[in-house]
């Protein structure tokens, strides 16, 4: 689109064209936000096969893979697709497990209760950590004290402020683990970024999507096994599984579809 020349009071002036691409992109972003916000942060538990067959009714490849998944899992719980889905799914699934697993709770509590001091030692500012840590530990302590029922956990995770504070703190724990063991984790990063720069850009900010490196670091930091089922368009009828860290017994089961994580429940 060329510049427009207009006459006003006998004078000519050049009016810069509107950047239509930017307007379209902004409209698309707003639409995506509205769609996302209409979806609960944490959804209800659904029958896996019914949910996925309905979603992929016109997709024979994904329908085939849904049937394979249904032989191993009975239910699915969807997360809001806002870039925080891995961390929120991990937190909800594991906290849900801790409601009825007191032995596992103790070892988890020992790790997370020391996590703020570990992060401060790495150079994280205390005033940044304080509120996130306090909110996170308040939920953890309520779970351990038997003060929280399943429906209360669900309600809490759908309150944006509290739910997002939990996500932020898990992002900080992940960042701390990556920076503490940077020599190892740099092998997973493309380009010439430092680990600190990677964490500031890709791990700590909200709404940044997660990849293998986030899962490896968080599961190792908290000593919680995670099994991720990868549902893709490959020819195999089976939905491939990867365990993090390798060789551990998974406590959390997640379904990954390009760009998104949901919670899976075994039979």
| Portion of the chain with pLDDT greater than 90, in percent | 80
Mean pLDDT value across residues 215-220? 98
Ramachandran quadrant class, 130 (left: phi over 0; alpha: psi -120 to 50; beta: rest): alpha
Pairing of strands 226-230, 252-257: parallel
From 5-9, 61-65, 151-155, 256-260, the region with the lowest mean pLDDT: 5-9
Q: Is 260 a catalytic residue?
A: yes
- Say whether pLDDT at 20 is over 50: yes
Q: Residues 85, 199, 253, 262: which is the catalytic one?
A: 85
Q: Which fold has domain 43-78+225-266?
A: Phosphorylase Kinase; domain 1 (3.30.200)
Q: Residues 199, 214, 253, 260: which is the catalytic one?
A: 260
- Say whether pLDDT at 97 is over 70: yes
Q: Is 82 a catalytic residue?
A: yes
CA–CA separation, 48 and 44 (whole Å): 12
Q: Residues 50, 82, 117, 200: which is the catalytic one?
A: 82
From 21-25, 100-104, 188-192, 255-259, the region with the lowest mean pLDDT: 21-25
Question: At 21, is the pLDDT very low, low, confident or very high (cuts 50, 70, 90)?
Answer: confident
Mean pLDDT value across residues 49-76? 96
Q: Which residues pair with 261 in a beta bridge?
A: 256
- Say whether pLDDT at 82 is over 90: yes
Q: What is the pLDDT of residue 3?
A: 45
CB 189 within 8 A of CB 180: no
Same topology for domains 43-78+225-266 and 81-224, yes or no?
A: no
Question: At 37, is the pLDDT very low, low, confident or very high (cuts 50, 70, 90)?
Answer: confident
- Say whether pLDDT at 14 is over 80: no
Q: What is the pLDDT of residue 27?
A: 77
Q: Packing angle between helix 102-113 and helix 85-98, nearest 10 degrees?
A: 130
- Say whether pLDDT at 102 is over 70: yes
Q: What is the pLDDT of residue 221?
A: 98
Mean pLDDT of the chain: 91
Q: Was domain 81-224 assigned CATH 1.20.1300.20? A: yes
Cα distances from 164 to residues 92, 132, 224, 245, 256, in angstroms, run 12, 9, 20, 25, 21
Q: What is the pLDDT of residue 195?
A: 97
**Tokens read off for 2:** 């060329």
CA–CA separation, 256 and 238 (whole Å): 14
- Say whether pLDDT at 62 is over 70: yes
Q: What is the pLDDT of residue 146?
A: 86
In the chain, where the domains are located: 43-78+225-266, 81-224
Identify the CA nearest to 75 among candidates 95, 59, 52. 52
Q: Is 199 a catalytic residue?
A: no
Tell me how many degrees the CA angle 260-72-158 measures, rounded to the nearest 5: 40
CA–CA separation, 88 and 157 (whole Å): 8
Number of neighbouring beta carbons within 10 Å of residue 113: 13
83: DSSP letter: S
- Say whether pLDDT at 12 is over 70: no
Question: At 38, is the pLDDT very low, low, confident or very high (cuts 50, 70, 90)?
Answer: confident
| Portion of the chain with pLDDT greater than 70, in percent | 91
Q: What is the pLDDT of residues 157-209, one digit of tens each?
A: 999 999 999 999 999 999 999 999 999 999 999 888 999 999 999 999 999 99
- Specify the 3-state DSSP secondary structure of 120: helix
């Amino acid at each position: 689109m060329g510049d427009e020349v207009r006459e006003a009071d006998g004078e000519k002036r050049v009016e810069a064209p509107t950047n239509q691409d930017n307007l379209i992109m902004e409209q698309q972003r707003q639409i995506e936000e509205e769609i996302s916000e209409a979806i609960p942060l944490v959804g209800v538990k659904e029958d896996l096969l019914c949910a996925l067959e309905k979603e992929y009714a016109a997709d024979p490849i994904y329908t085939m893979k849904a049937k394979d998944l249904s032989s191993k899992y009975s239910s699915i719980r969807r997360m809001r697709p806002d870039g925080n889905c891995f961390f929120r799914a991990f937190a909800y699934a594991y906290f849900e497990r801790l409601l009825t697993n007191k032995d596992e709770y103790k070892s988890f509590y020992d790790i997370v209760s020391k996590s703020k001091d570990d992060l401060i030692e790495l150079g994280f500012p205390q005033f940044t950590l304080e509120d996130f840590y306090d909110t996170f530990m308040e939920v953890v302590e309520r779970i351990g004290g038997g003060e929280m029922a399943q429906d209360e956990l669900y309600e809490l995770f759908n309150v944006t402020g509290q739910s997002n504070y939990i996500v932020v703190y898990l992002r900080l724990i992940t960042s701390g683990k990556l920076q503490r063991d940077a020599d190892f984790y740099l092998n997973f990063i493309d380009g010439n970024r430092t680990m600190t720069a990677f964490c500031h850009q890709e791990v700590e900010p909200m709404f940044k999507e997660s990849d293998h490196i986030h899962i490896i670091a968080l599961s190792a930091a908290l000593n919680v096994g995670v099994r991720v089922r990868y549902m893709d368009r490959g020819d195999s009828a089976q939905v491939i599984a990867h365990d993090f860290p390798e060789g551990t017994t998974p406590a959390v089961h997640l379904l990954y579809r390009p760009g998104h994580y949901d919670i899976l429940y075994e039979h």
